[in-house]
């Protein structure tokens, strides 16, 4: 009986080798030709930093903040207006119907209100600029994670396809055996169940890949160009060796934004306090009175000292002080969160690197075990269940290695984004 089994398995062994080479070629060829593709993560990120709607919205906010500075500075300049009125005045010798009065008015900046408002708008522009940098890093990270997810999904689909192929070969061998020995029909059912499970896993991986492609489609219309995702892209700059080095060199936009918001809140306190100060307005006008009295020049000086306004000014100061306190606490919390984010990313990186090293060893050992189990199965020294189990374990080793590869890259990109260097590194290229 052993000779019969060996004779039936000798020819399939050659076919198995050819199919395995074809499967490996299907995995390797996209990787070889990936660099030649015009599609790249660098291009996607650069395009997103210009065209993504969220970036455009924040850019508009920066433009508005700069315009607000011009508005505040305009208060230092005098204003010129033309007042016109129409009326009817009946006197014994005249009938006045219209009057035009050009006015030149200047609010003397002696109370600090204008300067305080200018300072506040300048700080608000810094806040808007910091928010833009935060948004740029966030969009760059989202695009990077979507790209990495497609690479991972493609690798997982390829591994699942290989697993289906291997189980199909095993099923084919069992079918040949059952054709000779009908008593092995239970083995046929067992092999078919494992093949169905492998096909189910392939379907799940294909669905995950499609979901990843849909997420990436937010940033590029070429999310389904499979050849572009044959390998993981390299970061423009290597991440620091450890978390402490990263924290020492950190220039976090989120922290800069929180700092600018605190400074803006302090400027609002100064603006609120300036409302206690008096105002002085100087006006010069030329009244054209027509037939009644000709033209007259009018000069006025208006001095106003706030005495009682129902507690509005004091309430405004208290509100601004409370907001400044809240901004200071937010700044302290942001610093803690940013440092935690960096440390967690480094912890994820260390874990992924350890898992990748172990998974690579397991995958190498698993390949040797699968080869040995197949030879022993042909010599009737291993059962079908042994062969199916080791094939499933080998597939799990391959998948674990692919997931660890993705996690290493994802952690590196999260570290770079947390340090505020992701969008900047791609823009500097």
Nearest to 342 by CA among 247, 406, 420: 247
In Å, how far are 264, 327, 414 from 126, measured between CA atoms?
9, 15, 25
Phi-psi region of 240 (alpha: psi -120 to 50; beta: other; left: phi over 0): beta
Residue 39 pLDDT exceeds 80? no
Read off the pLDDT of each residue in 335-347 and give the average, rounded to a whole number.
91
Cβ neighbourhood burial of 77 (10 Å; 0-12, 13-18, 19+): exposed
Give the model's pLDDT for residue 368: 94
Tens-digit pLDDT profile for residues 199-244: 999 999 999 999 999 999 988 887 677 667 778 888 888 888 888 8
Which of the residue ranges 6-20, 48-62, 87-101, 326-340 would you say has the lowest mean pLDDT? 6-20
Helix ranges, 277-311 (H): none
Tens-digit pLDDT profile for residues 59-85: 999 999 999 889 888 888 888 887 776
Residue 161 pLDDT exceeds 90? yes
Q: What is the pTM of this model?
A: 0.76
Which of the residue ranges 86-90, 165-169, 353-357 would you say has the lowest mean pLDDT? 86-90
* Superfamily in which the 2-427 domain is placed by CATH: Outer membrane efflux proteins (OEP) (1.20.1600.10)
Rounded to the nearest angstrom, the gap between the alpha carbon of residue 137 and the centroid of all alpha carbons in its chain is 6
97 band by pLDDT with thresholds 50, 70 and 90? low
429 band by pLDDT with thresholds 50, 70 and 90? low
Residue 184 pLDDT exceeds 60? yes
CB 182 within 8 A of CB 251: no
What is the residue extent of each domain of the chain? 2-427
């Amino acid at each position: 009986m052993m000779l019969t089994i060996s004779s039936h398995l000798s020819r399939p062994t050659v076919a198995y080798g050819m199919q395995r080479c074809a499967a490996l070629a299907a995995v390797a060829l996209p990787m070889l030709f990936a660099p030649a593709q015009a599609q790249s993560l660098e291009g996607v990120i650069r395009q997103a930093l210009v065209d993504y709607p969220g970036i455009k919205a924040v850019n508009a906010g920066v433009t508005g903040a700069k315009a607000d500075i011009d508005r505040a500075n305009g208060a230092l300049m005098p204003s010129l207006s033309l007042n016109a009125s129409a009326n009817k005045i009946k006197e014994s010798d005249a009938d006045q119907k219209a009057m035009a009065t050009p006015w030149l008015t200047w609010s003397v900046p002696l109370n600090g209100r204008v300067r305080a408002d200018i300072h506040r708008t300048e700080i608000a522009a810094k806040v808007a600029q910091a928010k833009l940098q935060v948004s740029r890093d966030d969009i760059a990270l989202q695009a990077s994670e979507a790209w990495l997810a497609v690479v991972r999904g493609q690798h997982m689909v390829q591994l699942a396809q290989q697993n289906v192929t291997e189980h199909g070969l095993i099923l084919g061998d069992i079918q040949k055996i059952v054709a000779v020995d009908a008593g092995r029909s239970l083995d046929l059912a067992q092999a078919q169940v494992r093949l169905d499970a492998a096909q189910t896993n392939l379907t799940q991986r294909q669905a995950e890949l499609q979901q990843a492609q849909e997420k990436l489609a937010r940033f590029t219309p070429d999310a389904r160009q499979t050849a572009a995702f044959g390998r993981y892209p390299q970061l423009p700059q290597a991440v620091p060796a450890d978390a402490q080095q990263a924290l020492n060199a950190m220039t976090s936009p989120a922290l800069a934004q929180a700092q600018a918001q605190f400074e803006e809140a302090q400027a609002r306190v100064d603006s609120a306090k300036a409302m206690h100060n008096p105002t002085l307005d100087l006006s010069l006008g030329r009244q054209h009175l027509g037939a009644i009295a000709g033209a007259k020049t009018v000069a006025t000086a208006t001095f106003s000292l706030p005495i009682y306004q129902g507690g509005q000014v004091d309430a405004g100061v208290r509100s601004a002080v409370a907001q400044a306190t809240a901004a200071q606490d937010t700044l302290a919390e942001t610093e803690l969160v940013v440092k935690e984010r960096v440390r967690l990313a480094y912890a994820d990186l260390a874990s992924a690197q350890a898992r990748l090293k172990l998974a690579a060893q397991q995958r190498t050992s698993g390949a040797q075990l699968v080869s040995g189990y197949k030879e022993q199965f042909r010599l009737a020294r291993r059962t079908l269940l042994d062969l199916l189990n080791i094939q499933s374990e080998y597939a799990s080793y391959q998948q674990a290695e692919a997931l660890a590869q993705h996690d290493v890259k994802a952690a590196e990109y999260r570290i770079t984004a947390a340090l505020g260097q992701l969008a900047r590194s791609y823009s500097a290229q």
